Structure formats: C-alpha cells, structure tokens
A and B are shown apart, each in its own frame.
Chain A
C-alpha cells in the first residue's frame, strides 16, 4: 500500500500483547459467566444436573471414608493368637515367644502359658468344678502377637498368618481381627465401586456439558459465521465456549459439595444419637478442603473437556456462507 502506510505497526502491539491477551482471557471468562447468568433457568438446570451427578459418588466416598474411620479406631486391637501344640511345654513356649520377639513385625509378644490359662479359666465361675474332673490340662499355651502398625494392613496380616502357621510348634493361628479384615475388604470393594460410579457419572457430565455447548453453538451460529468473516481465529471463537464449559463444571462441583455438606450436616444428629447408644462418640466427617479442591478441579476439568469435545465436533461445521 504505497499511498497509505500500514497503520498496524508491530512494535507497540508486541509490547501490549501479553497484557491484552491476559485481559482478553479475564474479560472472556467473566463475559461468559455473565452470559450464563443472564439465562438463569437454563444455567441452573445444567448446573443442578452436574451437581447431582457428582454428589452421588462424593456422598458414597464420604460414607466409605467414615466407615473406614470407624474401623480404624479398632485397628489397634488387631492381634494374632498363636495356639501351640498341646505337647509343647510352657518352657518351650517361652522359647518360641523369645524367637518371635526377634521378628521386626511384632510390637509385643505376650505368652499365656498352659498353666496360666488353666488358672485364668478356673477363676471364671462354673468352670472350676468341670476342670477339677480333668487329669491333664486340656489347654495349650497361647502366644498373643501384636503386630507393628506398619504390618497391620490386611495383606500383611494374612502373610504373617501363613508364615506363623508353618512353624512346627504351632497348632493353629487365629487372627482375632478376621472380621475386621473382611470388613476392610468390603470397604475396599465399596471404594472401587465409588470409583467406577464416579467414572460413569463423570462421562455423564461430559455428555451434559457437551450437549449444552452444542446447543449454544447452534444458537450462536450466525454470530460465529460473522466472526469468522471478519478474521477471528479458531481459538478466539472457541474460547467463550470453553469458558462456559469450565464454569458449568465449576458451578456443578460447587453444588455437589453443597449437597453433600448439607447431607452430612443433616446426618450429624442421628449419628451422634446412635453413637451415644453405644456409649461412644463418632463425629461424622464431611468433605475436607483437599477433597473440595479435588471435586472443584475435577468438575471444572470435566466441563472443559466436555465443551472441548463439543466445540471440536461442531465448530468445524460452521463456515461463513
């Protein structure tokens, strides 16, 4: 353009670029939020559906975590009873106990000799006479083993049980906490189910957001065409839709948190009453700050990915006519 020097000089543009880019993003994010809030009914519906979908796995997670806490308070009692063969003398039993004390797995090894066991038994009302009839002591020596906390996990206990069973002096091994282990296995199963459910509902959220954004793209088709006509880049056109998806996700995550917190608050009273019947206290745990952050981050990411998919599928079809 010989007669008209180009007005778009590069240097000041380049200096202003990062700032302009940032301010455009901030502006775009809040403009998108404003647009969502101008259609409150549609936005609330979408956000509520996302919130409910996310609240379900979050609530189940809270449930399993609380049960885990409950079981955890009994974990200290996890102990293994080692019944020795009846022909093992108390002296030999003491040797075995001494050997087991060397194992790093155990915090404490307590020997209950056959004689001691009999004496304890005799003290219990009603047994004295029955025991007097016996010529030999029917009771074996028993070792009570208390594992270190590091070895108290279900898998470790099972491993210990197997190794202890191989000792020649041992008649059988009883894990006092077997039911606890089973319960923990059930909890682990429940946790896996929560994950599966979360995965399923997360893909539901992707579809919800994707569909909402698809409709939005259809409604604004004319505007998108004009923007392409005047030289908007693909990323410029994509941006508000991606922000909308992120907002949907974030607001949905917030409402999921709200729903779960509401449920926990509502259950606090009944749970306290139930615990008091067991002469115990059990504070119901809700979602902590880290969990809140995880939900918000995850839901925002879901919204973003959902809208990304919709945008990539449907914006490509929009060409200026």
Chain B
C-alpha cells in the first residue's frame, strides 16, 4: 500500500526532516508513528498526502510512484487519502454537514448520494444529531470527530492522522482510537502519528519510531 524507498526530505532552513527512511506497509494495516515532536512524523505523512515532495528517494502509494504524478493528478491522489489533523482544519463558517460533505462535493457527486454518505459518516462518529451545528458550537472532541468523518466520508482506502488526539483528554482520546480501530476492521489502511504511548501499547499495532528524521524502530507488533 505504501512504500518508502530511501526517502530524504531536506528543508533549506531546517536541514533534514527525514533521513533515509525506508519501509513498506501492506493494505489494511494499522500503524502508529511515534517520536518526539520534530522527529519527522508530520513530514512523513505530508509526503504521503503529496503536500510535499521528497528531496530524494521514492514514495509509492497504491502502486503509484508519487514522484511521477503530474500536478493535475494530485487531486485524484488526495481523494484516495483521508487526512486528519490535530487542529481539525474545519471551515468555521460551514455547518458540520457541509464540512463533512466537502470531499464528496468536489467529486461532483449528486445531492442525494452526498446526503446519504455524509449522514452515514456522521453516524459512524456519533454526531448525526449535530449536522446543522457550526464547528465552534462543538467541543474539541466533537470537532475532531467531524474531522474524522470528513476524512472517511469518501471511503478512501488510506487514512492518515497527524496527532489526532493531541488536544484531547485520555477518555476522548480512547474514543477516537476506538473509531480508528473500527475503520481498521473494515479494511482501511491507517497511519496515525501520535506520542500517546500508553494508548499505543494498549492497542498492539505495528509502531514506527522516528528520531531526528530516522526510522529507528519498526515493531511488527500486529
């Protein structure tokens, strides 16, 4: 599903964010990505979502070499990747429904089908009753669940989460991870960056540890 082949990412102002990272991830795997802040977790996820391109090496997602992907194909690649951020990145002036609908609307899907799928996604994250609310009216945990609904509403085979529970208390964090576990069970490939070690240990999944841009540990726990 995902293959990194001696990938380097160098920022002119910060030096190497990733150094010689190689790994392979099978379809349907759920993997945690851990390490100190600044270890390169976000950079690694951004390379998969094509928010950035590597300085060296190859990233292959779903059999496609991202280096050879034309600019015009990037949107179609992103539709295959659901992305979840620590700060949710919801549109403050749109309702929960409209926020979750966005990935479907951009594909030109019809009204009825959009409504059906958005409600299904909101139901999965337990927010069906809040579809008309604006994001500010929701708690932090609820906002994050809206972000998750948006990431999975188009049913992408791959979901990336960057510190999804960074701002949440342990109970809410556990709820979020249970959601991920459910997606994992229906076959979605997940890559979750977190430093919530307690949760990682409780869940027994493969874990990558990054340190100063290097992949120092790959525990095939699964």
Q: Tell me if A233 and B91 are in contact (CB < 8 A).
A: no
Contact of A231 (CB < 8 Å), options: B27, B89, B107, B110 = B107
Q: Tell me if A230 and B187 are in contact (CB < 8 A).
A: no
Contact of A226 (CB < 8 Å), options: B27, B89, B108, B186 = B89
Q: Tell me if A231 and B106 are in contact (CB < 8 A).
A: yes
Also in contact, A230 and B28, with CB within 8 A (given A4-B157, A20-B108, A20-B110): no
Contact of A7 (CB < 8 Å), options: B51, B78, B155, B188 = B155
Complex: A227 Cα to B222 Cα, angstroms: 35
Check A232 for interface membership: any CB of B closer than 8 A.
Answer: yes
Q: Tell me if B72 and A230 are in contact (CB < 8 A).
A: no
A 214-229 contacts with B by CB, 8 A:
222-223, 225-229
Check A16 for interface membership: any CB of B closer than 8 A.
Answer: yes
Also in contact, A226 and B91, with CB within 8 A (given A21-B108, A232-B106): yes
Q: Tell me if A222 and B75 are in contact (CB < 8 A).
A: no
Q: Tell me if B72 and A1 are in contact (CB < 8 A).
A: no
- Measured CB to CB, the nearest residue on chain A to B85 is A229
What is the size, in residues, of chain A's interface with B at 8 Å between Cβ atoms? 29
Q: Tell me if A227 and B106 are in contact (CB < 8 A).
A: yes
In the assembled complex, which residues on chain B have CB atoms less than 8 Å from the CB atom of A150?
Answer: none
In the assembled complex, which residues on chain A have CB atoms less than 8 Å from the CB atom of B102?
Answer: 226-227, 230
Q: Tell me if B110 and A236 are in contact (CB < 8 A).
A: no
Check B83 for interface membership: any CB of A closer than 8 A.
Answer: yes
In the assembled complex, which residues on chain A have CB atoms less than 8 Å from the CB atom of B155?
Answer: 4, 7-8
Complex: A321 Cα to B157 Cα, angstroms: 23
Nearest chain B CB to A308 CB, angstrom units: 18
In the assembled complex, which residues on chain B have CB atoms less than 8 Å from the CB atom of A4?
Answer: 155, 157, 186-188
Q: Tell me if A229 and B83 are in contact (CB < 8 A).
A: yes
In the assembled complex, which residues on chain B have CB atoms less than 8 Å from the CB atom of A10?
Answer: none
Q: Tell me if A228 and B75 are in contact (CB < 8 A).
A: yes
Complex: A319 Cα to B154 Cα, angstroms: 22
Also in contact, A230 and B150, with CB within 8 A (given A20-B108, A24-B108): yes
Complex: A230 Cα to B51 Cα, angstroms: 11
In the assembled complex, which residues on chain B have CB atoms less than 8 Å from the CB atom of A229?
Answer: 49, 51, 78, 83, 89
Nearest chain B CB to A174 CB, angstrom units: 71
In the assembled complex, which residues on chain A have CB atoms less than 8 Å from the CB atom of B157?
Answer: 1, 4, 6
Contact of B72 (CB < 8 Å), options: A223, A227, A234 = A234
In the assembled complex, which residues on chain B have CB atoms less than 8 Å from the CB atom of A321?
Answer: 51
Q: Tell me if A3 and B186 are in contact (CB < 8 A).
A: yes
In the assembled complex, which residues on chain A have CB atoms less than 8 Å from the CB atom of B186?
Answer: 3-4
Check B76 for interface membership: any CB of A closer than 8 A.
Answer: yes
Q: Tell me if A320 and B75 are in contact (CB < 8 A).
A: no
In the assembled complex, which residues on chain B have CB atoms less than 8 Å from the CB atom of A320?
Answer: 51
Check A125 for interface membership: any CB of B closer than 8 A.
Answer: no
Nearest chain B CB to A12 CB, angstrom units: 10
In the assembled complex, which residues on chain B have CB atoms less than 8 Å from the CB atom of A234?
Answer: 72, 75
- Measured CB to CB, the nearest residue on chain A to B185 is A3
Check A2 for interface membership: any CB of B closer than 8 A.
Answer: yes
**Binary per-residue interface labels of chain B (82-103) against chain A in the complex, 1 for a CB within 8 Å, 0 otherwise:** 0100000111000000000011
Complex: A4 Cα to B187 Cα, angstroms: 6
Check B145 for interface membership: any CB of A closer than 8 A.
Answer: no
B 171-204 contacts with A by CB, 8 A:
186-188
Complex: A305 Cα to B79 Cα, angstroms: 30
Q: Tell me if A222 and B188 are in contact (CB < 8 A).
A: no
A 305-321 contacts with B by CB, 8 A:
319-321
Nearest chain B CB to A172 CB, angstrom units: 74
Complex: A237 Cα to B108 Cα, angstroms: 12
Complex: A225 Cα to B90 Cα, angstroms: 11
In the assembled complex, which residues on chain A have CB atoms less than 8 Å from the CB atom of B77?
Answer: 231
Complex: A6 Cα to B157 Cα, angstroms: 8
Complex: A225 Cα to B49 Cα, angstroms: 13
In the assembled complex, which residues on chain A have CB atoms less than 8 Å from the CB atom of B136?
Answer: none
9 closest cross-chain pairs (CB), A and B: A3-B187, A231-B79, A4-B187, A232-B106, A231-B78, A230-B103, A233-B75, A231-B75, A1-B157
Q: Which residues of A contact B (CB under 8 A)?
A: 1-4, 6-8, 16-17, 20-21, 23-24, 222-223, 225-234, 236, 319-321
Q: Which residues of B contact A (CB under 8 A)?
A: 27-28, 49, 51, 72, 75-79, 83, 89-91, 102-103, 106-110, 150, 154-155, 157, 186-188
Contacts beyond the supplied A1-B27, A2-B27, A229-B49: 5 A-B pairs with Cβ under 8 Å = A24-B108, A226-B102, A230-B102, A231-B76, A231-B77
Provide a sorted-by-A list of 13 A–B residue pairs whose CB atoms are within 8 angstroms.
A4-B155, A222-B91, A225-B89, A226-B89, A226-B90, A227-B102, A230-B154, A231-B106, A231-B107, A232-B75, A233-B75, A233-B106, A320-B51
